[in-house]
Each structure stands twice: as C-alpha cells, then as structure tokens.
Amino acid sequence: MILTVTMNSSIDKLYLMESIQPETVMRVKEVHNTAGGKGLNVSKVAAKLGEPVTAMGFIGGFNGQYLVSLISEPLVRPAFTHVAGETRCCINCWDLSNGRSTEYLEPGEPVTQEDIGRFLADFDAELPKTDVVAISGSVPKGVPEDFYCELIRRCRAAGIPVLVDTSGNRLIAAVKEKPAFIKPNEDEISQLTGRHFSSREDTIGALVELHEGGIPYAVLSLGGDGALLACDEGVFHGKPPKITPRNTVGCGDSMVAGFAVGFARHLPILDSFRMALAVSAANALSIFTGDFDPADYARLSREVSVERIA
C-alpha cells in the first residue's frame, strides 16, 4: 500500500475558455473540479494503476469536505487531518484557442502546532500498514520548511522507503535526510548542488553526485525528453515516444506515482522507470491533471525506451 502526503491540498478548478482576453469580463465554457495538490495527483494515478493508496495531509472547512467527495478512485482511502482553515482552491485557466494555460495557486490557510501534532500522530498510526510513502508539494503557513525531514526520519525508523517531490528549501533540507527517491528538474539540481551547468554531461555528473551522496534513486526530469535515472545499476536515459501533449500539468506527479507503484510491488527499478515514463506521457494526453486513459498508457508502455548511458 502507498501512503501519499499532501500537506497543502486544494480544490483544483480547470476553466476551459474559448479565448482569454485580459482586462475584460470572461465567461467560462466548462468547469471541472478535482481533488488536487501534488500528492493527490500521485494518489489518483497510482490508484488507476491498480495500487491501493491512503491519502494524508490537511483539509479544512466546507472545501475540505468537498475535496473528499471529489475523490472518486475506489482504491484511494482518505485519511486527512482536519483543521479549522478552509482548504484552498487552485485555478487553471485554459485558453482553447491556443492551448495555453495560466494557473492561479492560493497559498493555503495557516495551520497550528496542535494541527501538526495531530497530523504526526495520524501519520504514525498509518505507517505500519504502508509499503512506501510519497511526499509531494508545498506546505501551508505554520509548517516548518524542514518538516519533511521529520517524516523521512519516522519512515526510516519504520523501514519504509520515501519518495520526495518538492522544491526550494524543502527539497534542500529533505535531501540531507537521504530519502530513497528524489525527482528534481534542471533548475532544482542546480539549487541542490550550488552550481550551474552548461552541458548535459555536467548535469548527469551532478545527478550521480546526489546518488553517491546517499540517494538510492535520483531522477532528473527532462520534460518532453523523458528523464535520467542514477542508481546502483548505472545511469539511464528513459524516453517516451513523441506525442502531442494536451496538458502537461501533473506529468511529474504521474511519474512519481509510477515509481511509487513500482516500489510497492518490489519491481526491478528499470521496470518502475518504464512505468513512470509511460504513465507520465499518458497524463500529458489527458486534459485533466493526475489522470490518463488506460489505452494510452498500454500503448505508450510498449514504446518507452530506456538506454544505459553510464
């Protein structure tokens, strides 16, 4: 079973608009509301791949109740810690005339030390039932930037591998605790190493440094060019087939979900890598975040390539 952590959950609103014109009244053609936040995207994709998921984090108010009602995947079990503040909303305005989107992300209502204590108690109660933990995204005000370090330490004490997908100071702090998996992009790997890279070879070297520094599986996201994986078996470049993406929001979360499912099933790492690449590409073919068509996934799974490069 996978346990996902979404400290800053949200109601994700997708506005489909014929054309976006600034400084005027705009009428939305369609609205799609989903339970959102990066960890919940991981939850939805992992469940659709057939793996049971327990979704944790903070929810609050009427929006929090609505968020739980939006979780339609039967393999996702909500186990959120309830707080007083309303769960935030995040809006993605999609211009149908050109395929471009603009996102508006609310920060999330502050939480208290008591809220954090109750979450930790809930987290500890779920760990004995868990095979792998995936921690994703931002945190609301009131949660320390190094909070994920505490979660990693508790998982390590329980012998449970942790996948971390976050950014900024949270990622820098988490890496010091040596989670099993991280997935920085090219900007984030520069932040982690304190260096800027002018070539792919230099970037690969930095990824290998992270692996040799204690991260068993270090993955560098390359967008449409796939991803790099550094692990004990070597360095690999995985590439999905060329596609025309419809919506790339949630592709990184889908990749994390693929790895999490592989960890939960104790698959060989390259099988997990292929799954992650295929489901990430399948997500890009859906207009919805953290979603994919099983037929797309099945086709793309056959077309993913993984090459050892070091």
The band of 142, judged by pLDDT with boundaries at 50, 70 and 90, is very high
The band of 68, judged by pLDDT with boundaries at 50, 70 and 90, is very high
Dist CA 24 CA 288 (whole Å)? 26
CA-based nearest residue to 252, from 213, 230, 217, 226: 226
How do strand 10-17 and strand 88-95 relate by DSSP bridges? parallel
Average pLDDT score, the chain = 95
* pLDDT at residue 145 tops 90: yes
CB 10, CB 37: distance < 8 Å = yes
- The per-residue pLDDT for 70 is 96
Q: How far is the CA of 53 from the CAs of 48, 50, 148, in angstroms?
A: 10, 9, 19
Tokens for 209, please give them. Answer: 């440094």
CB 263, CB 131: distance < 8 Å = yes
Q: Which domains does the chain have, with CATH numbers?
A: 2-308 (3.40.1190.20)
Tokens for 82, please give them. Answer: 């309830």
